[in-house]
Amino acid sequence: MKFPWFKRNGIFFIPSSKVGWIIFCGGVVYAVYSFIQIDSKSHSVSDTLINFVFRALFICAVYSLIAYITSRSANIKEEH
């Protein structure tokens, strides 16, 4: 597999390969699915947003961890 999958730009990891884009799109689809799921159970707009932001932050955190690991493995290969 070709590395790196992501490149860091500020506080965001931007996909730089097909696999990176697949992971990114997977994250977005899961975020949309979570929003619909939370919205169906919540009682108000604020209830939806409060719960969704928490879920969205968690998705972003997991995504950044995956992006960090897969962009780092390229650096390790270059060092050796």
Partner 1 sequence: MEIQNFEEKLVKMTKPEVIQLRHQEMLANAISSAKDRSVVNWWWLSIPLYIIAALFMKTAFMPDTTLISNIHEFTDKEKYSSFFFFLILPAISIIINLISIRKIYFLSGSPKEMKFLEVVWYNILMIIISVLILIIYSF
User: CB 63 → partner 1: shortest distance, Å?
Assistant: 8
Q: Which residues bind partner 1 (CB under 8 A)?
A: 8, 10-11, 13, 50, 53-54, 57-58, 60-61, 64-65, 68, 71-72, 75, 79
Q: Which is nearer to partner 1, 34 or 64 (CB)?
A: 64
Q: Which is nearer to partner 1, 9 or 40 (CB)?
A: 9
What does the alpha-carbon distance between residue 18 and residue 1 come to, in Å, rounded to a whole number?
Answer: 11
13, HSE (Cβ side, Cα atoms, 13 Å)? 22
What does the alpha-carbon distance between residue 52 and residue 41 come to, in Å, rounded to a whole number?
Answer: 12
